[in-house]
Amino acid sequence: MKYYDKLIFECSKEGRRGYSLPENAFPAAGELPVALRRQAPLNLPEVSEPDVVRHYTNLSQMNFGVDTGFYPLGSCTMKYNPKINEEMAALPGFAGLHPLMPARLTEGACKVYEEMDKALAAITGMYKFTFAPCAGAHGELTGLMLMRQYHVNRGDLKRTKVIVPDSAHGTNPASAAVCGLEVVEVKSLENGRIDVEALKPLLTDEIAGIMMTNPNTLGLFETEIKSIAALVHAAGGLLYYDGANMNPLMGVVRPGDMGFDIMHLNLHKTFSTPHGGGGPGSGPVGVAQKLVDCLPGIRVSAFHGNFGVILRAYAYILSLGREHLRKVGEYAVLSANYIKESLKDVYKLPIEGVCKHEFVFDGLINDGAHDDVPGATTLDVAKRLLDYGFHAPTIYFPLLFHQALMIEPTETESKETIDAFIAVMRKIAEEAARDPNILHEAPHNTPISRPDETTAARNPILKYQEN
C-alpha cells in the first residue's frame, strides 16, 4: 500500500468531461421559473474518464479487504465473498427491475424471495422472514417494532421496557431507544453468561422482551438459554435473537428451537455478501408463527429491502446446500478455538473453556511495562498487526474487559493462514515484552501513521474546501 494524497476535486480542470450522453432529439421544453431554479454554482469536479479511473484505483490501493488478507474482526464475520455471487446479482434481468413493477412482471424476483424465506426458515427455525431491513441494526429495530406490536395487538400496553445484557452489541440498546423502549441492563456472571438470578427480578409485566445473542459477544454459548426462555415467556415477554453471532450455529443449532421468537440475520456476515466498506448490508427478520400477524403495517424501507444483497446470499445458500451448511458452523468454531488455545499462554484469556466462533483476550500477559515505559495496550497490538499484513481484531469491545481483543477467524481461512496469524501474534507478544515502544509507535509500514483524532473531533473539517 502506498500513500496517495489527492482528492477528486484536486484532479479537476475546467472543461474536462468524463461522460458521454446521447444527442438531444427533443424540442426544448423551456426553463423552470426563475424562483424555482438553482442559482448557486454547482461545484462538482470536472475530470476525464482516465482521471477518474486512476484516482479511484489509487484510493483503492490504500485499502485492506478480505481479498487482501486475513480479517479476524470479532462480531463482524469477515468471511470470503464468493465471486459468482457478484456476477449473479448484476444480471440485467435483476438489476433492471423497477421496484414498483407488479408481481406478474417480476416472477423471478418473487421466487428468489420465496426460496430465501424457506431457506432462512429452515436454517433458523423461524416461521417467516421479512426482507425489508437494510442492515443488522435496521433488523433489530424492525424486530423490536414487531415485539411491541405483538403486545399492543393483545391489548397489553404497559410493556415498554426491554432487557439487554451488559455484553450486548451497542446497536441493541440504540435500536431499543429508537423503538421507544426503555433499556434495562442485566449483568453477566464471572463466567461471561447472563446472570439468571439477576434476570428474575427484572421480569415484570412492563417487560416487552429480552435481546440476546447466543453465543454472546464473548463467543460463549449461553448454557442457561432454556431456563431464560422459560422465565421470559412465563413473564409474558418475547425473546429477540441478534443474528450477528449466527455463524457458529449454522447447520448445528437453530435459534427458533432455543425459544427465540424474533431474530435478524446479517446477510453481509453469515451469508457471505461483501461488506462494501460499511454496507450495503441486509438484515432480514424472522418471526415465530404467533407474530406473523404483526408484519403488515410495519414499513421500514423504501421497497423490498436490499435485493442485490439478497441475490448474493441466495447464491451462497445454493452453493452450500444441505450438505455443506454444517461445515460453516463447525469450521468457524474449530478455527476460533485453535487460535485461542495457541495464544492463551501469551494473551490473557479471562474465561476458560470452549468458545464458539470468536473469543476475547484481555490484552497481553506481559505488556513490557517497566520503569517509565508504559506497557503495550490492545490498541498497540492491533496497530502492530497492520504492519504484519493482518487486519486488527475488534478492540475494546465487549466493554466487560478493559483491554478486550476480540478475534473471529471464520471458516474460510486455511490452517496455514491461521498459523501465520498465530505466529505473528506471538511475535508481537515477544516484541512487547522486549520493547513496548515498537508497538506504541506502530504501525510503521502502512500508508499513514496514527492520526490526530482529537483535532479531527475538536475542529471538524468535514468537506473539501479550496485553499
Partner 1 sequence: MLDKIGVKKLEDLYSDVPAEFLHKGAYALPPAMSEQEIRDCFASLEAMNAHLKVFVGAGAYDHYTPAVIPYLCSRSEFLTAYTPYQCEISQGTLRYIFEYQSLICSLTGLDVSNASLYDGPTAAAEAMKMAVACTRKKPRVLLSKGLLPHVIEVVETYARFHGVEIGYVPVMNGQTCPNCLKAELAKDDVAGVIVPSINRYGIVEDHTGFADAVHAEKGLLVEYCDPSALAVVKTPGEWDADIAVGDGQPLGLPLSYGGPYVGFMAVKKEHMRKMPGRIVGQTVDKDGRRVFVLTLQAREQHIKREKATSNICSNESLMALWVTIYLSLMGPEGLKEVNRLSCDGAHYLYAELLKTGCFEEVFPGKPFLKEFVLKPKQAGMQERLEKAGFFAALPTEEGYVSFCVTEKRTKAEIDALVKAVKEG
Q: Give the footprint of partner 1 on residues 280-319 (CB under 8 A).
A: 280-281, 297-309, 311, 315, 317-319
Q: Tell me if 397 contacts partner 1 by CB under 8 A.
A: yes
Pick from 117, 148, 364, 378: which binds partner 1 (CB under 8 A)?
148
Contact letters for partner 1, residues 333-362 (x by CB under 8 A): xxx-xx--xx----------xx--------
Enumerate residues 103-122 that contact partner 1 by CB under 8 A.
104-109, 111-112, 118-119, 122
**Please, which of residues 14-43 interact with partner 1 by CB under 8 A?**
16-22, 24-30, 32-33, 35-43
When asked if residue 161 is in the footprint of partner 1 (CB under 8 A), the reply is no
Q: Does 157 bind partner 1 (CB under 8 A)?
A: no
Residues 49-88 that bind partner 1 (CB under 8 A): 49, 52-53, 55-57, 59-68, 71, 73, 76, 78, 81, 84, 86-88
Q: How many whole angstroms separate alpha carbon 6 and alpha carbon 11? A: 7
Other CB atoms within 10 A of residue 455 CB: 10
Whether the Cβ atoms of residue 147 and residue 296 lie closer than 8 Å to each other: no
Interface pick for partner 1 out of 117, 140, 242, 413 (rule CB under 8 A): 140
In the bound complex, what is the minimum distance in angstroms from residue 306's beta carbon to partner 1? 4
Cell readout for 152 is: 399492543
Q: Decide: 332 and 410 in contact? Cβ < 8 Å.
A: yes
Do you find a cis peptide bond into 443, omega within 30 degrees of 0? yes
- Selected from 128, 183, 233, 366, the binder of partner 1 by CB under 8 A is 183
β-strand pairing of 404-407 with 394-395: antiparallel
Restricted to residues 228-287, the positions that interact with partner 1 (CB under 8 A) are 251-254, 257-258, 266, 268, 274-281
Member of 177, 231, 349, 369 binding partner 1 (CB under 8 A): 177
Element at 130 (helix H, strand E): strand 128-130
Q: Output the CA angle 171-175-177, nearest 5 degrees.
A: 120
Residue 39 buriedness (CB in 10 A; 0-12 / 13-18 / 19+): exposed
Q: Measure the N-to-C terminal CA separation of the chain; round to a whole number of Å.
A: 28
* Binding region for partner 1 (CB under 8 A) out of 196-204, 321-329, 369-377, 430-438: 321-329
Contact mark string toward partner 1, 366..385, x via CB under 8 A? ----------------xx--
In angstroms, the CA 382 to CA 99 distance is 43
347 phi and psi angles, rounded to 5 deg: -120, 145
